Amino acid sequence: MLSSTITKEKILSLAMFMLLPILACAQLSVNGEFRPRTELRDGYRILNTSQSDPAFFTSQRTRLILHYTTDAYTFKLSAQDVRTWGEVSQLGDTPNVNIHEAWAQLNLSEMTQLQLGRQELIYDDQRLLGSVNWAQQARSHDALRFKYRNGDTDFSLDIGAAYNQAGQNLQGNNYPLNNYKVLSYLWLNKDFGDVDLSALVLTDGFQSGADEVNYRYTYGTHVNYKASDELDFSGTFYLQSGDDATRTDISAFMAAAGATYKLEDVTLSGGIDYLSGGEAGDSNPAQGAFSTLYATNHKFYGNMDYFINVPVDALSGGLQDIYLKAVFTTSEDANVSVAYHNFASANALADPANAGETLDKALASEIDAAFTYKIEKDVTFKIGYSVLFSSSTLETVQNRQADGLQQWAWAMLVITPNF
């Protein structure tokens, strides 16, 4: 029998003493996220018609994030539950929890790491690779990534690769899902002080037959120039070629330019995005249409997401977006933002009702407004309203006759505790 002098407290103290060498060189953080969002959709994504009724619902994302770091490696696990309130019966047994991220990073040296597993791929301003964080489910990839970071020269390099399968096949490599089968990329970044320059070369391959893969190639650069403490400029240019799941002989490009000017309580920004498209007389207009790949398009092409799936949402005619935005800091914890977008087709679309004729390039204009209030350190409340004014061309693109106001309203609470 143990001596009565050996108490539970002494055993616990001894266990903690034995763990001290481990805890001294390791860090564990546990974070959470609770994010319900209520939406009134009355013309969001698709045009209202005379038969349309508004949609009203609340969706919710709940995450538990575990991050463990040692000198040798880092481990991250992010489990999430995404649901719409009421989608599961009260006594139902429907699984909803999934893994958003589950990766390990091995520290090969002071400057090199190898990260593998399910992870977000976010580069530059997220025009080609982004997390799509606005969507409750967000985006992540099953991939392997080699990283090099040299702080002395402000140079970074990433090499990433992924090979997808729908299951653990006994034979063959057929991939039936609507997703890339192969992904590889090289990303370079160099900070020159006032100029931050990146280059990206990306290849994604798609199942096109039992033993065939079509490969698409996207390559270009992104640059930020800090002209002063108040003024910043940015520019992006990418080319696209090769084949994808449905197109061959792609020849497309995108270009974007923007500027941001910061005043004491106001930040002003504006610019233009241009995504190439096919000509109306082309035998296959889709060949000239640029695809934004795995971007966070909600960030760029209007909050109402009419052009979130480019080139499909623009019928392969390309897209031109001229935008202006102002963010007003009303207090230390609150701000109001207002943005205006003017959307047009990059190339005139063929008029299906009149052979040989083309449609007007104007697609729509949109106004987005939002208010953000930080209630306390881990609690933020956001609310927004958007309205879109459509053209007859957009009606043709969506094959819907618009009726009434195209609008969308939402409210969201974000709680991010650190346990």
| Nearest Cα to Cα of residue 273 among 293, 286, 292 | 292
pLDDT band at 10 (very low <50, low <70, confident <90, very high): low
Identify the top-confidence range among 168-177, 204-213, 388-397.
Answer: 388-397
| Nearest Cα to Cα of residue 400 among 50, 44, 41 | 50
Instruction: Return the H-helix or E-strand segment holding 396.
Output: helix 392-398
d(CA 107, CA 73): 5
For residue 53 the two structure tokens come to 């009724």
| Nearest Cα to Cα of residue 371 among 326, 336, 399 | 336
If DSSP codes are grouped into helix, strand and coil, which group holds residue 17?
A: helix
For residue range 12-49, what is the model confidence (pLDDT) as tens digits? 566 556 555 555 557 999 999 999 999 999 999 999 99
d(CA 381, CA 49): 32
For residue range 304-360, what is the model confidence (pLDDT) as tens digits? 999 999 999 999 999 999 999 999 999 999 999 999 999 999 999 999 888 889 999
For residue range 122-170, what is the model confidence (pLDDT) as tens digits? 999 999 999 999 999 999 999 999 999 999 999 999 999 999 999 999 9
pLDDT for res 5: 47
pLDDT for res 117: 98
pLDDT for res 250: 96
Residue 1: is its pLDDT beyond 70? no
In this structure, are residues 105 and 146 in contact, taking their beta carbons and an 8 Å threshold? no
d(CA 292, CA 304): 17
Residue count of the chain: 419
For residue 189 the two structure tokens come to 């970044």
d(CA 56, CA 335): 26
For residue range 44-98, what is the model confidence (pLDDT) as tens digits? 999 999 999 999 999 999 999 999 999 999 999 999 999 999 998 888 887 778 9
Give the domain ranges of the chain.
Answer: 8-415
For residue range 254-309, what is the model confidence (pLDDT) as tens digits? 999 999 999 999 999 999 999 999 988 787 889 999 999 999 999 999 999 999 99
pLDDT for res 208: 87
- pTM for the model: 0.91
d(CA 404, CA 389): 10
| Nearest Cα to Cα of residue 318 among 294, 341, 298, 301 | 301
Estimate the share of the chain in helix, then strand, then coil, as percent rounded to the nearest 5: 10, 55, 40
pLDDT for res 114: 98
- Maximum C-alpha span of the chain: 98
d(CA 66, CA 52): 44
For residue range 352-379, what is the model confidence (pLDDT) as tens digits? 888 889 999 999 999 999 999 999 999 9
Instruction: Return the H-helix or E-strand segment holding 19.
Output: helix 8-24
Q: What CATH number has the domain spanning 8-415? A: 2.40.160.100
In this structure, are residues 308 and 343 in contact, taking their beta carbons and an 8 Å threshold? no
d(CA 149, CA 87): 45
| Nearest Cα to Cα of residue 46 among 369, 309, 414 | 309
d(CA 185, CA 368): 34
pLDDT band at 3 (very low <50, low <70, confident <90, very high): very low
